[in-house]
Structure 1
């Protein structure tokens, strides 16, 4: 902040110079005016002395005129080059008062409307924190400076959880939900913090939060893990196994938490078997959809397209959202071509081919590279998403 205040001080001196320089010039003019008045007084005194000498008979008329002329020449010589006095309409006190009020008013406005705290925070975050406590203090100041930042509030909540402060974390996640909306991840984090803040006591509030999170996203990992913990603590071991298996399916193979999660499933299995229960087999996963389609261009259109024109091949639900469920992009030069559309090509995780019973295949040529509009198109009829037989699609119609 030192360089900032130095720059501000320099600008303040420049501003004050516009106010003080006229005052200093006025003082110089005043000194010149005072010197002129003194010269006039000396002239008048010299003339009076000559008149006295003439009255006494010391000087005759010619000498009197000569002495008066000499005194006049000296007066003109002393006052030559002196500018006429300028009268300020503002007066002397006003510029001096402004010179005092400008920095005071500027400082007050900056402290009220400025962002010195945010500037300092930016400088701090440019350097790595030395400890978790220092990071927490930075985040707390950042949230105080930007109370409407959902991201800052969220990270502060995560930091509180890492410091075993679940009650404070729950408040931060609640604020984040109010700022960013009821997103599944935020709801899951809020539910987890609230559960530990209540000393691992399941409550209607926590249940409602996890239910809402999983309804919006059945794969929300924090809620799945929390429900598994609560079920294990409540000796509902089969539920714990089910929740943790669902969570395990969402974690990437290299995730370090898979080992701990698998250990929890093993312990729950052992306790279930020790109590005389039997582990229920998880329902078979729904087979992933895989559609094979051969796309070709009608012969009468080959002269009307360019090799570099984009070709979008996608499947969309016949009854459902208009967004493509799976899509691939090629060019006219690639035609004819056989492609595969599967759940791996899903545009969004919740919009997979296997989630919709019936789909339609579409191939579109777009010179502008826009998947939603083009020049030529080919469409199939409705077909089950579980179809395994290869399909054929010909681009032969104007895109309307």
Structure 2
């Protein structure tokens, strides 16, 4: 902070110079005025002496005139170059008072509206913390300086969890949700912290948080893991196996937590079998479908379409509802183009590509921008929804 205050002091000196320089100029003008008054007094005294000598007969009239002229020349020589006297309407006290008040007022305004704490935090964050306690202290100060920073709140909550402070973490995650909105990941973190803060006792609050998180995102990993832990602790081993099995599918290969998670599933399976129960395997989810297709325009049609015409590319079930299962939109100017149609592009959640064994690819040009009717169309032969090879689709026929 030393360089900051040095810069502030330099700016303060510049500001004071604008106030004090006029005061110094007035003082110099006053000195000039006093010197001019002294010269005038000396001139008047010299003229009086000449007049006395004339009356005594020492000087004649010509000599008197010559003496007066000489005294006048000396007066002009002494006052030559002096500025005209200036009048100050403000007076001297006001600029001096302002010179004192300006620094005090500036300092007060900076302490009230400034951000010296954030400047100091920025300097501290430029250096790596030496301990977990130092990192926690920095995060706490950052949150105090920026209480609306969702990122700062989130990392502080995670740090509290790493330090086995779940009660503090639960409060911070609650604030994070209030700032960033009810996002599934934040709800899961809040539920986890609240569960451990309550001494690993399941509550209606934790249940509501996990339910909301999984409703927004059925793959939310923290909620799945927490529900598995709670089920295991309450000896609901089949539920624990189901939740942890769903979580295991979401974890990427090579994730260090996969081994621990698989170990938990194994222990839950052993306890379930030891109690006389039978493990019910969850149905294996179908692999998500993803079709890659390159769409082009027949050469004979290039002169008959306009660059701004809409192009709708979609897949529909060969045996099933007529509604498109997945769709993309572009313009003629974008052709040729390669697009991907998958479960993520489903028009409705229950109508996914992977739910139908055979589909047909369709590309339609519509000048009016209507996906159900247009001028030109291209269709593929039926193909399996599990096809991975890139398909070629050419728009070459009138849309009837």
Q: Per the shorter chain, which TM-score range?
A: 0.7 to 0.9
Structure 1 equivalent of residue 7 of structure 2? 7
Q: Does 1:170 align with 2:170?
A: yes
Map 1:81-120 to 2 at 5 A.
Answer: 81-120=81-120
* 1:32–1:316 Cα change, 3 Å: farther
Distance 1:131 1:387 in 2: 52
Match of 2:137 in 1: 137
1:139-188 C-alpha deviation (Å, 9 max, x unpaired): 21221122111121111111111111111111111111111111111100
Secondary structure of the equivalent of 1:69? helix
Q: How far has the Cα of 1:216 moved from its partner?
A: 1.1
Stretch moving more, 214-223 or 63-72: 63-72
Contact 1:356 1:385 in 2 (8 A): no
Alpha-carbon distance in 1 for matches of 2:207, 2:75: 104
1:196 corresponds to which residue? 196
In structure 2, the partner of 1:353 is: 352
Q: Are the counterparts in 2 of residues 365 and 376 from structure 1 also a CA contact under 8 Å? A: yes
- Which residue of 1 is the match for residue 224 of structure 2? 224
The DSSP-based 3-state class of the residue aligned with 2:377 is: strand
| Residue aligned with 1:199, SS | coil
For 1:182, what is the secondary structure of its paired residue? Answer: coil
Q: How far has the Cα of 1:4 moved from its partner?
A: 3.0
CA contact (8 A) 1:378 1:393 kept: no
Residue number in structure 1 paired with 2:271: 271
Range 148-157 or range 291-300, more displaced: 291-300
**Number of the residue aligned with 1:50:** 50
The answer on whether the counterparts of 2:314 and 2:361 sit within 8 Å (CA) in structure 1 is yes
CA distance in 2, matches of 1:392, 1:51: 125
What CA distance in whole angstroms lies between the structure 2 residues aligned with 1:2 and 1:42? 58
1:247 maps to 247
Query: Deviation per CA, 1:360-390, whole angstroms, max 9, x where unpaired?
Result: 7443679xxx9x9xx9763769x999698x9
Cα displacement (A) at 1:15: 2.6
1:378-397 aligned at under 5 Å gives the runs: 378=377, 395-396=395-396
- Asked if structure 2 preserves the Cα contact closer than 8 Å seen for 1:313 and 1:329, the reply is no
Residue 45 (structure 1) shift: 2.2
SS of match in other structure, 2:283? coil
Alignment length (residue pairs): 385
Task: Name the SS of the counterpart of 1:363 in structure 2.
Answer: strand
Alpha-carbon separation, structure 2, partners of 1:227 and 1:189: 12
CA, structure 1 residues 59+298, in 2 after alignment: closer, same or farther (shift >3 Å)? closer
Cα distance in 1 for partners of 2:329, 2:340 equals: 9
Q: Normalized against structure 1, the TM-score is what?
A: 0.80
Contact 2:46 2:71 in 1 (8 A): yes
User: Deviation of residue 305 (structure 1)?
Assistant: 7.6
Tell me the distance in 1 between the aligned counterparts of 2:278 and 2:328: 40
- How big is the alpha-carbon RMSD for the aligned residues of Structure 1 and Structure 2? 4.3
With structure 2 as the length reference, what TM-score do the two structures score? Answer: 0.80
Give the C-alpha shift of residue 21 in structure 1.
1.8
Q: Is the 8 A contact 1:289 1:354 kept in 2?
A: yes
State which drifts further: 215-224 or 261-270. 261-270
The runs of 5 or more residues in structure 1 that have no matched partner are: none
**171-180 or 72-81, which moves further after superposition?**
72-81
CA shift, 1:398, in A, is 8.4
Deviates more, 1:204-213 or 1:109-118: 109-118
